[in-house]
Amino acid sequence: MLPKPKAALVPNTYAYESEPMVKPTGFREYDARWLFGKEINLMGVQALGLGLGTLIHEMGVKPELVTGHDFRGYSASIKMALITGLMSAGIKVKDIGLAVTPMAYFGQFELDVPCVAMVTASHNDNGWTGVKMGANRPLTFGPDEMTRLKSIVLEGAFKPKGAGAYEFVENFPARYIADLTKRPKLKRAIKIVCACGNGTAGAFAPKVLEAIGCEVIPLDCELDHTFPNYNPNPEDMKMLHAMRDAVLEHKAEVALGFDGDGDRCGLVDDTGDEIFADKVGVMLARDMSTLHPGATFVVDVKSTGLYMTDPALQKNGVKVDYWKTGHSYMKRRTHELAALAGFEKSGHYFFNAPFGRGYDDGLVSALAVLDMMDRNPGKKLSDLKNALPKTWGSPTMSPHCDDEVKYRVVDDVVRHFESARQKGEKVLGQKIRDLVTVNGVRVTVEDGTWGLVRASSNKPELVVVVESPASESRMRDMFKAVDAVLRTHPEVGEYNQTI
């Protein structure tokens, strides 16, 4: 029986090698993230597995689980520690080895296993680790499950059982690739740049894209867990700029960029323009709602206002639901509403039938983009982008804010704008037209200019996004207005990037 985990232990000591260490803040809203070695040790990961297995039994779910790991120097050892804990809780584990996260989700269906625990830090920098978990395919854990898991682990309320087992599933990636490619080939060979940032997707994405008929130009597809060029994150401007340069050099029609665990896809068009994922979602919604009029789409609060105002979507009778940012929240909401798809500004897309199984998969997203291009012969991706109404939007900006205080800061910002609206105070010289507070606060003024502040679910950061359909200067003014509120809180630090 493992002892109750400690919140902190000193490395290079007997205690560090003999007791589990699990920092409480690693339990996020919908998955788990820690700095490996500093916030969790291998025995702490073992305790996490034992706690997860205890929770699975508590939920009354069949005690079978699929697991895999991303390509980081320490992920395989973390996965084996997790498996040890799961087995000691009586869980039968099927290990698919090195995998992108959606391959593990696919494994739940292909192997007929109800639970999943994917070892990945997603797009976080090296040094981070984490686990994405679920026990009801295609959904992943939300706040209720994560709160209960946190309680079990930190209180040491483990319930070891016998009958745990381990099975390695040989050559599982071939089954995943076959599932994605059992479809008609593209009508023409679209010339693409496939960018993987030396992350896990590099082992699989080029094969899938070649199999459906693309002319593939690989960019940083060699596996290298040191990430020597840039972090594999299609929201990171370094990665987008590398994709832009490759498109222009090779005269490609599009660059498809995959994040570290392969559940997101970012785009650069034929002109080298980086298209933010929420705008790509509008383009896909146009295409999909032409095939399925009256469709419902779920979008996150960071996303463009075009989903509500685009004339083409209105003509197709599209219904839109703005919801909480986060892959678990979006997945669940898309499932609950039986929406055709869910689109998140970060690039997590969730396609229900006939396009997908409801979970986020960067390769499924890439195929949807390529099919859209294939259905619009004679039009470049830039033509489809330029057909959208013009707006000026920011990248996702993230000022530092410690995990222990970030939610309190956001609550204060929400109250600030709620009070301003109640008093009739103006923002940017205009009345507040709308406040969305399902996830932080999204404040919109009369001309449609809006700003968002929310707490990051993955890092000690806040998230700030602004957009204006009026002008670039209005967009910048909204950033200044939002930032002025944040600067009243000394806990808020510098931004990772600004406009």
- pLDDT of 402-425, one tens digit each? 999 999 999 999 999 999 999 999
CATH class as words, domain 275-392: alpha beta
CATH class as words, domain 393-486: alpha beta
Q: What's the rounded mean pLDDT across residues 323-330?
A: 91
Q: What is the pLDDT of residues 134-160, one digit of tens each?
A: 999 999 999 999 999 999 999 999 999
Q: What is the pLDDT of residues 442-488, one digit of tens each?
A: 999 999 999 999 999 878 999 999 999 999 999 999 999 999 999 99
> Which of 143-147, 178-182, 289-293, 395-399 has the least mean pLDDT?
395-399
User: To the nearest whole percent, how much of the chain has pLDDT over 70?
Assistant: 100
Task: Name the token pair of 499.
Answer: 């406009």
Average pLDDT, the chain: 96
Q: What's the rounded mean pLDDT across residues 385-398?
A: 94
Fold of 175-271: Alpha-D-Glucose-1,6-Bisphosphate; Chain A, domain 3 (3.40.120)
393-486 has the same fold as 14-170: no
Task: Flag whether pLDDT at 219 surpasses 90.
Answer: yes
CATH class as words, domain 14-170: alpha beta
Domain boundaries, the chain: 14-170, 175-271, 275-392, 393-486
State the amino acid at position 201 in one-letter form.
A
pLDDT score for 124: 84
